[in-house]
Structure 1
Amino acid sequence: MTTRTRSSSTAGRVIAIVADVMAFVILLWILMYLLDANRANDFVEFIRDCARFLAGWSHDLFTFDEEWARVVAGYGLAAVVYLFIGHAIAGRLRRA
């Protein structure tokens, strides 16, 4: 394995891990929301703030009547997009 291939593979792994962590935080917030986690808890508030930052472009994208459906669809879309794009980029780097 050449140095260029090894560094591309490492960069691909890092990008995939970052995408996984971003999606995990968003999915964790969806789970906490659906389970009605205590919003006065600092950890819950931290996860909510991180998820809102990561899904800022999609959290109000849908206008369902039920709020839980808006949260699942808006935040879930962001998680799927991060996973799809992150792993697509990582795969391209590994093949390079």
Structure 2
Amino acid sequence: MSPTSGSNQAGRVIALVADVMAAILGLWILMYLLDANGANDFVQFIHDAARWLAGWSHDLFTFDEQWARVVCGYGLAAVVYLFVGHAIAGRIGKH
């Protein structure tokens, strides 16, 4: 196993984790916009995970419409995780 293949594998894992984090956030946005049943265990799990992941960007924006705050706050977190995760993965893969 060459050092490059280990770096590539680590990069793939980091990219996958970033993708999963962004997918959870995106799924919550979709569930919110489609008015998913908040009493459902799966919906609650996704909401809790998304709220934790977007803790730093939740309610960052103060739009009058709640849906706009959800889309922008959680969407920003998803984009940041994708960008940073894939940037780190690319950087690791080059070494």
Task: State the TM-score, normalized to the length of structure 1.
Answer: 0.97
**Partner in structure 2 of residue 37 of structure 1:** 36
Q: Does 1:67 align with 2:51?
A: no
Q: Which runs of 5+ in 2 are unaligned?
A: none
Task: State the TM-score, normalized to the length of structure 2.
Answer: 0.98
CA RMSD of aligned residues (A): 0.7
What is the number of equivalent residue pairs in this alignment? 95
Structure 1: distance between partners of 2:58 and 2:16: 23
Q: Does 1:8 align with 2:12?
A: no
Runs of 4+ in 1 over 4 A off after TM superposition: none
Q: What are the superposed Cα offsets for residues 43-90 of structure 1, whole Å, 9 maximum, x if unpaired?
A: 000000000000000011000000000000000000000000000000
Q: What are the superposed Cα offsets for residues 6-32 of structure 1, whole Å, 9 maximum, x if unpaired?
A: 110000000000000000000000000
